[in-house]
């Protein structure tokens, strides 16, 4: 046995064809990422399923805003949409509930503070 282990020589940097191949591979990977399908209309990269917390947040926003907008021409319809959204959320249908609650806020002319990125059902 050697007293001193053999020292490894440092690896030589990439040269010539190897360097070109690495650059081409990086460019191809970057182009592939750029060709990924864009998000669906009305959605963004952070689209996620609706949750009970989304329902609670939107219901609270509606309840607070409704006191100031109760004389809106669409107030009755907005209240019905809010109740339908609450009912859907209580049954665990969060996507439908969020859609109804967003519609209720829209009907009284209020934009949700926290935009929930759930596509509306058709």
- Here the tokens at position 20 are 């070109």
Which has more confidence, 7 or 55? 55
Segments forming the whole domain that contains residue 98: 52-107
Is residue 82 assigned to a domain? yes
- Here the tokens at position 10 are 């440092």
* Global pTM value: 0.56
Is residue 47 assigned to a domain? no
Q: Is the pLDDT of residue 83 over 90?
A: yes
Q: Are 63 and 88 in contact (CB under 8 A)?
A: no
Collapsed DSSP state (helix, strand, coil) of residue 74: coil
Is residue 90 assigned to a domain? yes
Is residue 24 assigned to a domain? no
For the chain, the domain total comes to 1
CA distances from 85 to 1, 27, 68, 70 (A): 79, 48, 20, 18
Is residue 103 assigned to a domain? yes
Collapsed DSSP state (helix, strand, coil) of residue 6: coil
User: What is the average pLDDT across 68-94?
Assistant: 90
Is residue 59 assigned to a domain? yes
């Amino acid at each position: 046995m050697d007293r001193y282990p053999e020292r490894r020589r440092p690896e030589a940097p990439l040269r010539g064809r190897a360097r070109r191949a690495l650059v081409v591979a990086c460019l191809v990977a970057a182009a592939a990422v750029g060709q990924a399908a864009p998000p669906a209309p009305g959605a963004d990269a952070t689209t996620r399923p609706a949750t009970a917390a989304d329902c609670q947040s939107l219901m609270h926003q509606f309840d607070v805003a409704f006191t100031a907008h109760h004389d809106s021409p669409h107030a009755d319809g907005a209240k019905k949409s809010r109740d339908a959204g609450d009912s859907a959320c209580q049954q665990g249908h969060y996507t439908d509930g969020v859609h109804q609650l967003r519609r209720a806020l829209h009907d009284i002319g209020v934009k949700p503070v926290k935009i929930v990125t759930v596509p509306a059902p058709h």
